Amino acid sequence: MSLPIAATDVAVMWDHLYWFLVWLSVFFFVLVVGTMIYFVIKYRHQKKQKPVFITGNHTLEVIWSIVPLLLVLIVFVWGYVVYRKMIHAPPNSLEVRVIGKQWLWQFQYEDGKTTVNELFVPVNQPVKLIMSSEDVIHSFFVPDFRVKQDVVPGMYTSIWFEPTVPGRHQIFCAEYCGTSHSQMLADLYVLSEGDWAQWKAGKKLNLKTSRISMSNVPSPTLAEQGKKLMLQKGCVACHSDDGSPRPGPTYKNLFNSKVELANGQVVIADENYLRESIETPQAKLVKGFGPLMPTFRGIVSEEEINAIIAYIKSLK
Ligand code: CUA
């Protein structure tokens, strides 16, 4: 009985809960089945023996109700505490965009780098993955971190982790997504501080298994790529990035702000809101603006939407 190494603090917390549940189950299995076998033998049919007539036992009934109730409450509270920690990414998290496609994983970093089937992150720093799919439902699974999350077309899902063990960790796709689902593998490299600095500077890393060869050519950051795209796609004709009025809402200070809609509803301009407003602009029409914007579904790729949102995020 062994699990993959637990390479984050949250993974260690999950393992404690997991083993508590396993041993609790073993304890009750032995208790119930052991007692049953003992009684079967002790009270087996014997000649000239008349069984006692038993009507009930209140003490016993109270014990076997209260004790399991307390135990499942412990499991609930414990699970809730770990779950809360698992779903709330710390605000200082490094953000990486993940795109699942048949059949590979693509990663987009804030500084503009892109990798395929190899994800590089620093050790002892929280990392938040903002994930989407180009085609069907995939599932991003890192057993060593005990995190698994569906990657769904048309929306963003997210997970975070803070790796504590440098080295290579396996990434799987855990949702059947077609012929090569089982080949949809990727490597997650947790880099030491020194290696991370090298990676950021675009130097080649001395990792045995990695196929990546970095170049020193400075690439525009993800946000800069987004800014350029907005010029190319004509977004700037209707949207300003400095608050000046145009036919559409401005991008300035938009991210994570409260937006009042034409129907009176108030929504938070998070990643999913921005994506929806690009793909289905009429779905959440902002108060005071007409339904002028055409859909950009199919016109901008997943990579481009990520870059555009990164740019809007940078305008805070
Ligand atoms: Cu992607 Cu299975």
Give the pLDDT confidence score for residue 72 in this predicted structure. 95
Structure tokens at 262: 């034409």
177 lines ligand 1 (CB under 6 A): yes
- Beta-bridged to residue 133, according to DSSP, are 100, 153
Give the pLDDT confidence score for residue 186 in this predicted structure. 93
Show the low-confidence residues of the chain (pLDDT under 70).
1, 208-218
Q: Which atom of ligand 1 is nearest to the CA of 174?
A: 2
What DSSP line would sit under 16-29, residue for residue?
HHHHHHHHHHHHHH
User: Looking at 204-283, which runs of residues are DSSP E strands?
Assistant: 258-260, 266-268
Give the pLDDT confidence score for residue 210 in this predicted structure. 62
**Closest residue by CA, ligand 1 atom 1:** 138
Q: Which atom of ligand 1 is nearest to the CA of 184?
A: 1
Structure tokens at 109: 């970093």
The answer to whether the pTM exceeds 0.85 is no
Topology of domain 94-200, CATH: Immunoglobulin-like (2.60.40)
Give the pLDDT confidence score for residue 119 in this predicted structure. 93
Give the pLDDT confidence score for residue 53 in this predicted structure. 87
d(CA 80, CA 83): 5
169 lines ligand 1 (CB under 6 A): no
Give the pLDDT confidence score for residue 287 in this predicted structure. 87
d(CA 301, CA 316): 24
d(CA 205, CA 51): 78
> Which positions ≥6 away from 32 have C-beta within 8 Å?
none
Q: Which atom of ligand 1 is nearest to the CA of 178?
A: 2
> What are the residue boundaries of the structural domains of the chain, listed by start?
9-43+56-87, 94-200, 222-314
Give the pLDDT confidence score for residue 217 in this predicted structure. 56
Q: Class assignment of domain 222-314? A: mainly alpha
184 lines ligand 1 (CB under 6 A): yes
